[in-house]
């Protein structure tokens, strides 16, 4: 099946990134659907798409649409993805795939039944240096990974006046920082090391206990101290400290925070084995640090001509030409679209099965924090 055109559900920050990244693959974006008719019309005009859809049913009935990207609030993912699959649409869904692992498993089974291509948008795998780290570990360059430390820190919810729908549990689910960004870090560590998380111990924190919610429209990632507001008590996690155990006996210590001033979008990890270490930070994505015990450390810069074959496929510009966040989406989408066009499953990108793995881990993290105990992954 050749892709005719795509549709995107959601016109916020991430929805906009999807539209722009789809276009960079050469696929036409026919239309968008937002939370209400007015937002849809505004989004369609802003993004220069032809079709402001009136409903999900209209997208499902549009024979010109081959693939649909779901970037709506988390609580809508399960219902929307289910309807899209039953309508014969290939689906790229933002994480989390659903609000529980059980819902996610239902979507995996439906995708298998319908034989449609499906992806969970763990785009951060597609930094070229992340793929290069995976290659180096697969080639035993540092030996078997045995200890990982890492963080995913942001600052856009630091102030009590910062607001976004992700703060509303009825839209985002029980977990916030862990589900929103911690899931990316844990997925990336698993992707690079090839290891499976078997147990977790978590301490989740609500540190901004009362927030001032705007009574009018909200603009994410901005500082707004002028809007009329109402006080809202908070219960979802601003930050978390998490211990992980892996199937080979390795250990990890990670922290998640959306209240770390000055950290705009820092995915940072260091993976250590008996023969060396590797380190990456998304705020400096063109470099991979390689640590040694008995000789000088190395700093590998992104250059497609010097990377492994798979890593080079995720690099779109020559060395010295910086690329970053938006290119990770393009790298993911190009592989998904290749499978749609070829009617094959290449296993070269995160599928709904990866979305379920993430949900199993985040479900365990929530349980661990409540019980203050280690929780095994089902």
Q: Which residues of the chain have pLDDT under 50?
A: none
Same fold, 5-123 and 126-316+357-371: no
pLDDT at 70: 98
Q: How far apart are CA 17 and CA 234, in angstroms?
A: 29
pLDDT in tens, 130-145: 999 999 999 999 999 9
pLDDT at 169: 87
pLDDT in tens, 71-127: 999 999 999 999 999 999 999 999 999 999 999 999 999 999 999 999 999 999 999
Sheet holding 51-52, edge to edge: 51-52, 28-33, 5-9, 65-70, 90-93, 118-120
| CA-CA-CA-CA torsion sign (51, 54, 56, 59) | negative
What are the φ/ψ torsions at residue 12 (nearest 5 degrees)?
Answer: -80, -155
SS3 71: coil
Listed by start position, the domains of the chain span 5-123, 126-316+357-371
SS3 41: helix
Q: How far apart are CA 59 and CA 312, in angstroms?
A: 35
Residue labelled with tokens 């819902």: 103
**Are residues 172 and 221 in contact, defined by beta-carbon separation less than 8 angstroms?**
no
- Whole-prediction pTM value? 0.94
CATH for 5-123, options being 3.40.640.10, 3.20.20.10, 3.40.50.620, 3.40.50.720: 3.40.50.720
SS3 97: coil
Residue labelled with tokens 């661990």: 368
pLDDT at 227: 73
Give residue 249's region: left, alpha or beta (phi > 0; psi -120 to 50). Answer: left
Question: What number of other Cβ atoms are within 10 A of residue 132's Cβ?
Answer: 24
pLDDT at 208: 96
Residue 207's alpha-carbon distances to 155, 229, 237, 238, in angstroms, are: 13, 20, 8, 6
- Helix-then-strand count for the chain, H and E: 12, 17
Query: Which numeric CATH code is attached to 126-316+357-371?
Result: 3.30.360.10
């Amino acid at each position: 099946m050749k892709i005719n055109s795509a549709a995107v559900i959601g016109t916020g920050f991430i929805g906009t990134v999807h539209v722009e990244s789809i276009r960079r693959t050469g696929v036409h974006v026919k239309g968008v659907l937002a939370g209400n008719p007015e937002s849809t019309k505004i989004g369609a005009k802003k993004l220069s798409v032809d079709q402001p859809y009136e409903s999900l049913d209209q997208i499902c009935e549009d024979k010109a649409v081959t693939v649909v990207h779901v970037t709506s609030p988390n609580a809508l993912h399960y219902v929307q993805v289910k309807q899209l699959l039953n309508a014969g649409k290939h689906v790229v869904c933002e994480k989390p795939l659903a609000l529980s692992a059980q819902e996610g498993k239902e979507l995996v089974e439906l995708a298998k039944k319908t034989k449609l291509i499906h992806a969970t948008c763990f785009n951060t795998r597609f930094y070229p240096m992340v793929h290069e780290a995976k290659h180096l570990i697969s080639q035993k360059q540092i030996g078997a990974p045995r200890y990982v430390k890492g963080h995913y820190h942001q600052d856009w919810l630091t102030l009590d006046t910062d607001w976004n729908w992700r703060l509303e549990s009825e839209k985002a689910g029980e977990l916030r920082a862990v589900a929103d960004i911690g899931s990316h870090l844990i997925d990336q560590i698993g992707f690079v090391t090839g290891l499976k998380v078997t147990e977790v111990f978590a301490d989740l924190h609500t540190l901004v206990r009362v927030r001032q919610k705007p009574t009018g429209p909200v603009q994410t990632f901005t500082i707004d101290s002028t809007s009329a507001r109402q006080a809202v008590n908070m219960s979802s996690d601003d930050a978390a400290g998490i211990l992980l155990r892996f199937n080979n006996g390795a250990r990890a210590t990670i922290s998640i925070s959306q209240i770390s001033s000055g950290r705009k979008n820092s995915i940072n990890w260091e993976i250590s084995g008996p023969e060396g270490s590797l380190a990456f930070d998304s705020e400096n994505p063109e470099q991979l640090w390689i640590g040694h015990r008995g000789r000088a450390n190395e700093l590998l810069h992104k250059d497609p001509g010097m990377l492994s074959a798979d890593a080079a496929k995720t690099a779109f510009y020559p060395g010295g030409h910086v690329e970053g966040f938006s290119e990770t989406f393009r790298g993911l989408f190009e592989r998904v679209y290749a499978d749609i066009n070829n009617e094959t499953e290449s296993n070269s990108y995160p599928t709904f099965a990866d979305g379920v793995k993430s949900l199993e881990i985040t479900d365990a993290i929530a349980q661990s924090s409540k019980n203050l105990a280690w929780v095994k992954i089902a």
